[in-house]
Structure 1
Amino acid sequence: MTADAVVVGAGHNGLVAANLLADAGWDVVVLEATGAPGGAVRSAEVTAPGYLSDLYSSFYPLGYASPVLRGLGLDRYGLAWRHAPDVLAHVLPDDRVAVLHRDVERTAASLEAFAAGDGARWRTAYAQWRPLADRLVAMLMTPFPPVRHGLGLLGALGAGDALRLARRLLLPVHKLGQEMFAGVGGRALLSGCALHTDISPDDAGSGVYGWLLAMLGQQVGWPVPAGGAQMITDALVARLAARGGRVVPHAPVVRIATAHGRALGVRTADGRAWRARRAVLADVPAPALYLDLVGPDALPPRLVEDLTHFRWDGSTVKVDWALRGPVPWRNRDAAGAGTVHLGADVAGLARYAGELSAGELPAHPFLLAGQMTVADPARSPAGTESLWAYTHLPFRTRWDDGEIAVQVARMEAVLERHAPGFGALVAGRYVAGPGRLERENPSLVGGAVGGGTAAAYQQLFLRPVPGLGRADTPVDRLFLASASAHPGGGVHGAPGANAARAALARQRPVAGLAYRAAVRAAHRAVYAGAAPEPPVPSAGRPVEETARPVSVGDR
């Protein structure tokens, strides 16, 4: 079986890559280990009949704003978006609520209630964001270094404001909130948004995540696909099929065939060989690609050593509930929000992150919750609610069921405290701890949903390991297309798009020669020399546990 390109994994990044290659006239086949495409962009009825749950990811500000997904025209293949009345509510321990609304004046009024002048401060922050938004989002989603968009942003800002922006991008969100707002409302909105990642509010670089998600929420909202997250996947699959591409389920890849430093194709678990005339693109985590599918013997020793320092993001436990009625919030200001943050104020978020860093189960977990029927009424019967919540755990590859049960009980206690009577409304419940998440989607190693930590030391040209921050790998014609590649986790399609563009650039008759020479020279510079003594096992994952077959698509 032969195709121009073989894509390993039918997560959304793999499907984006396949679509862009098909647009260029390539014959593309996508091999998916599980029985269904989508990776972490899927939906199903798992709590009770008639209640639709997004199994993994759910709200999509980055997906909605993404020039990659927007450029695919997925609305022509059934994708439509829905917005909750309010974007986000942060419920504080005393039940005060800070609300982010797509109307900037309503957001400002909510924050003004926490501190005089914070409404004006929010309007100013948003006014500063608007001229930067398109260039900044485009810069984040292109290969590093983002020369064209970076120069455009520099030209728009000037040297002084560019340096101020650079400082803001490096600030811890705790410090950024103190600089931007006098009251706890605005600070909580920023910090809660930053905690969608695995990094602490006191970590350098956490500010950019809080600022980016909050500002996108103000600009475009945090929408959901009408009919569930599955609609994104279905639209990508339908678009690919219309261009002659195909997705093959139950086809776990166990080896990428290489010769003379070049990827030739793959072999699946059933023994079939799939030849790639032009490229292999892998929508799998970086350790799985390099250590399992390619194998250390075919890689530079320095790269193999660097992979022992690869860090996963935290483990996750997610719970879906079918509720017989709306969430009975003590403060009704939370009732209209699609996403709700609760369980901690700014100081509590720091304590929560500290417990995670120490490897402890937080006694008072911070919850990120989604009121799906509020956002999309078709998700459950009229007058009911399809609710989910998740919380972070320290990263581990093995969890005891009892530990997960304890944390789920703590999550439900948080909800009961802020929404008395919540438990009495539960008609069904579905718990996805780290083990279940990984069993159902092997790319979610240990329940880590981001493809690797969002910490600054594993971003840009350091993602997934020190190198170029690009999709190219030391194996010619092999490209990393997963969230382990720059710019990382989230449903926006950038890693898949970057991999497809790199594969196309590699094949250009004349320019491709210069491209290949530049990539080889860069890899020689990065990976030159012999590896030192055998490394100490990674704190993120023991070396002996790293090698494992994984071929389902990444988030």
Structure 2
Amino acid sequence: MVDVAVVGAGPNGLSAAVVMARAGLSVHLYEAADAIGGGSRTSELIEPGYLYDVCSAVHPMAVASPFFRAFELSKRVDLRLPEIQHGTPLDIGGAALAYQSLDRTVQELGVDGPAYRRLLQPLLERVDGVVDFTSNQLLRIPKDPVAAVRFGLATLDQGTPLWMRRFREEAAPALLTGVMSHALGSQPSLSSTGAGLLLSVLAHAGGWVVPVGGSMSIAKAMADDLTAHGGTIHVGEQVNSLDQVRPAKAILLDVAPPTLARLGGSEVPDRYRRALEAFRFGNAACKVDFILSGPVPWRDPGLAKAGTVHVGGSRLAMAESENLVDMGKHPTEPYVLVSQPSLVDSSRAPEGRHVLWSYCHVPANSTVDMAEAVTARIERYAPGFRDVVVASKTTTAAELSAYNENYVGGDFSAGLLDLRGLVQRPVVSNVPWRTPMPGVYLCSSSTPPGPGVAGMPGYHAARYALKDIFKMRVPGLGVGL
């Protein structure tokens, strides 16, 4: 008899499987695709020799996530830190740049530098408490109440239409909004602001690291640990019902709520089924990957050293673009999130060449190819960009949804990230990972704390499964254990 069956080998399925195997239990992990990774998969999307992250590319949580810290990921994967963590080109000329050093960032932001410091310094001083607060579900007493209060006040400061009251110029608010726009949703909003503030603080803490070899390196590190502790991985094996993985004592599902409803069949209580089927998904992404003959010719030289570039102009311009998407429209001048991994990882492309990863937001289920709009947007701040493009590949929102069943409609956040969506994920509960079906747990990004390659939904689900079924505590996860 197998002790544990885990369905879905994305970051959260892998983290759940690692925890259970480390506890000495027999674990079988099932993945419908031909390779593990899910949101942390890397592939030669365009031509052989060019490595692209299919979904997540830059990893602030790789050094901040409580799971990855316990797992000692930094000892298992070569995590490279760009000289500049992120930057935003400005319509007025120049760029706003975020260094790992808060002092240097503040100095270069000019007149608004002190205001930027007053916003982020209190959070940076209690960064562990901020990470703890945001890495769990909200219906709990935080370990560091002061950090939680500071985070809440900062979110209120920047998450309402009064978000410009502390700033006088364009650079600092554009720098912040570029990060806040990672989240799918309108601007300003409390949910997007909370996510953006966390990422902004982490840029000045451990930094936004890039894994050598691609995001798949993170998935591989977890898979290697799982098999080293007796776990078995089955790829290319579609699970269509819970009975297919029984008689496992515990079943952990890295799936979207509608998929859980389907897998559970008649076992799912009616009230819970209605909640799963009514779970709300948000907007989507259209991804455009490029092969380049050289670096992006950014007008501002600082952007050539940035691991991530937020292309969107001013705070108000980015908000307008995001709000158009929220109204079901495709912006002609979209906000574009750009990653330049080959700046710090030469393994991504042949010598002299570069890969460029980018996406913009679009309405759910969109089939529109946004490659031209993305290219034009980058060209605006990097004249001559078209001249270095060798090839490109677009993945529409509809194609992203087909790639990963958890990304319903192309929503890579696996659920709408508004205030209701942060608490009701997928139901309002102090233990939302536990389902009404005995021994069945949900561990996808549709549970708290939500999206991102952090492993925390899987960790939480595994923690409760160990406690409920096996009467065990979470084991040590470090390299030497």
Q: For residue 234 of structure 1, what is the aligned residue in structure 2?
A: 220
Q: For residue 319 of structure 1, what is the aligned residue in structure 2?
A: 288
Whole-angstrom distance in 2 between the partners of 1:507 and 1:219: 37
2:451 to 489, 508, 521: 489
* Structure 2 residue 398 is matched with structure 1 residue 435: yes
How far apart are residue 388 of structure 1 and its match?
Answer: 1.3
Whole-angstrom distance in 2 between the partners of 1:510 and 1:344: 52
Deviations 1:69-95 (A, max 9, x none): 12113345x411001110001112334
SS in 1 for 2:313: coil
Asked if structure 2 preserves the Cα contact closer than 8 Å seen for 1:29 and 1:248, the reply is yes
2:134 to 129, 140, 146: 140
Q: Do the aligned partners of residues 95 and 367 (structure 1) sit closer, same or farther apart at CA in structure 2, a change above 3 Å counting?
A: farther
Whole-angstrom distance in 1 between the partners of 2:278 and 2:314: 33
AA partner of residue 134 (structure 1): D
1:208 to 194, 217, 221: 194
How far apart are residue 144 of structure 1 and its match?
Answer: 4.8
Q: For residue 254 of structure 2, what is the aligned residue in structure 1?
A: 283
Q: How high is the TM-score relative to the length of structure 1?
A: 0.81
Where in structure 2 are the equivalents of 1:380-529 lying within 5 Å?
Answer: 380-396=349-365, 399-400=366-367, 403-404=368-369, 407-460=370-423, 462-509=424-471
SS in 1 for 2:233: strand
Whole-angstrom distance in 2 between the partners of 1:197 and 1:455: 10
Deviations 1:375-395 (A, max 9, x none): 323322333321111011111
How far apart are residue 36 of structure 1 and its match?
Answer: 0.5
How far apart are residue 443 of structure 1 and its match?
Answer: 2.2
SS in 1 for 2:240: strand
* Structure 2 residue 264 is matched with structure 1 residue 294: yes
Q: Do the aligned partners of residues 144 and 479 (structure 1) sit closer, same or farther apart at CA in structure 2, a change above 3 Å counting?
A: farther
Deviations 1:284-330 (A, max 9, x none): 1111112x1112x3333332333343211211111111100110112
Whole-angstrom distance in 1 between the partners of 2:113 and 2:314: 19
Asked if structure 2 preserves the Cα contact closer than 8 Å seen for 1:16 and 1:497, the reply is yes
Asked if structure 2 preserves the Cα contact closer than 8 Å seen for 1:74 and 1:239, the reply is no
Q: For residue 39 of structure 2, what is the aligned residue in structure 1?
A: 40
Deviations 1:456-512 (A, max 9, x none): 11113x11133335210111110000000011000101100000001001025599x
Deviations 1:417-452 (A, max 9, x none): 211211121122121112322333222222211110
Relative to structure 2, which stretch is displaced further, 462-471 or 348-357?
462-471
Where in structure 2 are the equivalents of 1:351-366 lying within 5 Å?
Answer: 351-366=320-335
Deviations 1:94-143 (A, max 9, x none): 3431000012222112211xxx2x22233333431233210221222235
How far apart are residue 23 of structure 1 and its match?
Answer: 0.9
Where in structure 2 are the equivalents of 1:170-181 lying within 5 Å?
Answer: 170-173=156-159, 175=161, 177-181=163-167
* Structure 2 residue 210 is matched with structure 1 residue 224: yes
Q: Do the aligned partners of residues 489 and 39 (structure 1) sit closer, same or farther apart at CA in structure 2, a change above 3 Å counting?
A: same
How far apart are residue 275 of structure 1 and its match?
Answer: 2.2
Q: How high is the TM-score relative to the length of structure 2?
A: 0.93
Q: For residue 514 of structure 1, what is the aligned residue in structure 2?
A: none
SS in 1 for 2:125: coil
2:123 to 109, 121, 129: 129
How far apart are residue 197 of structure 1 and its match?
Answer: 0.7
Asked if structure 2 preserves the Cα contact closer than 8 Å seen for 1:173 and 1:191, the reply is no
Relative to structure 2, which stretch is displaced further, 343-352 or 221-230?
343-352
Give the total of aligned pairs. Answer: 473
Q: For residue 518 of structure 1, what is the aligned residue in structure 2?
A: none
Deviations 1:231-257 (A, max 9, x none): 001111100010000110111110113
Q: For residue 14 of structure 1, what is the aligned residue in structure 2?
A: 13
* Structure 2 residue 3 is matched with structure 1 residue 27: no
Whole-angstrom distance in 2 between the partners of 1:24 and 1:276: 19
SS in 1 for 2:144: helix
Deviations 1:336-364 (A, max 9, x none): 10100113311112211221121111111
How far apart are residue 13 of structure 1 and its match?
Answer: 0.4
Unaligned segments of structure 2, at least 5 residues = 474-481
Q: Do the aligned partners of residues 31 and 286 (structure 1) sit closer, same or farther apart at CA in structure 2, a change above 3 Å counting?
A: same
Q: Do the aligned partners of residues 510 and 411 (structure 1) sit closer, same or farther apart at CA in structure 2, a change above 3 Å counting?
A: closer
Q: Do the aligned partners of residues 181 and 377 (structure 1) sit closer, same or farther apart at CA in structure 2, a change above 3 Å counting?
A: farther
Whole-angstrom distance in 2 between the partners of 1:443 and 1:123: 38
Q: For residue 479 of structure 2, what is the aligned residue in structure 1?
A: none
Whole-angstrom distance in 2 between the partners of 1:389 and 1:282: 29
How far apart are residue 224 of structure 1 and its match?
Answer: 0.9
Whichever of the two has the greater Rg, that structure is: 1
Asked if structure 1 preserves the Cα contact closer than 8 Å seen for 2:257 and 2:277, the reply is no
Whole-angstrom distance in 1 between the partners of 2:434 and 2:138: 11
How far apart are residue 179 of structure 1 and its match?
Answer: 4.2
* Structure 2 residue 56 is matched with structure 1 residue 65: no
Q: For residue 270 of structure 1, what is the aligned residue in structure 2?
A: none
Relative to structure 2, which stretch is displaced further, 483-492 or 440-449?
440-449
SS in 2 for 1:417: helix
AA partner of residue 56 (structure 2): S
Deviations 1:54-78 (A, max 9, x none): 11101010222111012113345x4
